[in-house]
Amino acid sequence: MNTKYSPLFQPIDLRNGIQLSNRVVMAPMTNFSSNQDGTVSEDELAYYRRRSNGVGMVVTACAYVTRNGKGFPGEFACDSDEFIPSLRSLASTIKEQGAKAVLQIFHGGRMCPPDLVPNGRIVSASAVPAEQGASGQTPEALTEDEIQSIIQDFGAATRRAIEAGLDGVEIHGANGYLIQQFFSPHSNRREDSYGGSLEKRLTFPLAVVDEVKRAVADHASTPFIVGYRFSPEEPETPGITMADTLKLVDVLADKELDYLHVSLNQYWATPRRGIEDSRTRLEIIQEKAAKRVPVIGVGSIYTPDDALKALQTGVDMIAIGRELIIDPDWVMKVKEGKESEIETKIKKDAQERLVVPDPLWQAIIHTPGWFPMEE
């Protein structure tokens, strides 16, 4: 290995005592490829097996914790005990390659397609439709009893992850889904204990964190990872600002989580609004976290030099998503001094070689600009 890349391969000890073998994380990516019944498919297992060798931790695609939270076709489920064997096969496939296996747990809220949820009933914090990326259907505002039920569902999903042998869960509070919908002034117009002020908009996200941690305390006999992913800002007005996010980071950093995972498309993005600061969002977030909790950075990292430059900003770990689809051997090539052989553009005839399930491959090929393509 080229010694300049050795910082990427330093082990890291998480708060709970679990050690990751290096600083490279496979980012969670939707793959649209589960079986119709919500179980993990053989194609998905092959996809994860191909990519889990070398990384310190794999964060899986999101799994819905409640039947009416399914956000994608071909998304795997964790809303019932019947899915524990399916999740067990996922956990063992990843862990056999030497990586820690973390299940991302989620509820899509108003972003769920109506045809994927019971009776087409879309729910959210308030009856406010999404402005982008969803059906446009106005969701129903959840009742307080329904909110409590969903909080408990996150705890139950955590118990299932523990029983399935996973190493942890990542609470998906990013990308405009239900947890973020409660934190956002765009989607949360409530006037009860779950909405209004910024502090009240934090009630639901923090209740989910507390319930997940309670489930770990009650059911895990060995250390179990709990992480939280969030998006720093929203384009909508009103919407989450960088100032709001710094408050979120501050309270999450005191929750004794194992990591915070910042959801960004570009690692070097700077704040849109809310604060006057020319530094990158990730640098500002790290400063607020103040080493109270490890931070994972992500966003368009393709080469080892990209990853090293990002790590040198002070983040504890680097998540790589699209690049691990383009080149599943990325980590091993860096480790073996073969970084010159790394591929950074996807080849249109490489599906079989790269072991990518067909629904995901079709999405990649037919979504211009999502992946760098070799012409």
Q: Which residues are catalytic?
A: 177
Opening angle at CA 371, ends 169 and 286, nearest 5: 45
Q: Are strands 19-20 and 12-13 parallel, antiparallel or unpaired?
A: antiparallel
Burial of 191 (0-12, 13-18, 19+ CB in 10 A): exposed
Residue 31 Cα to chain centre, angstroms: 13
Q: Where are the beta strands (DSSP E) in the chain?
A: 12-13, 19-20, 24-26, 57-64, 100-106, 123-124, 140-141, 168-173, 225-230, 259-262, 295-298, 317-320, 346-347, 373-374
Q: How far apart are CA 330 and CA 346, in angstroms?
A: 13
Q: 24 and 317 in contact (C-beta within 8 Å)?
A: yes
Name the nearest CA neighbour of 176 among 237, 107, 259. Answer: 107
Q: Return the closest-CA partner of residue 97 out of 57, 39, 59, 62.
A: 57
The answer to whether residues 248 and 230 touch, using CB atoms and an 8 Å cutoff, is: yes
Q: Which of 259, 131, 155 is nearest to 209 (CA)?
A: 155
Cα–Cα distance for residue pair 51/229, rounded to 1 Å: 21
> By the 8 A CB rule, do 124 and 142 touch?
yes
* Residue 115: both structure tokens together: 């045809």
* CA gyration radius, the chain: 19
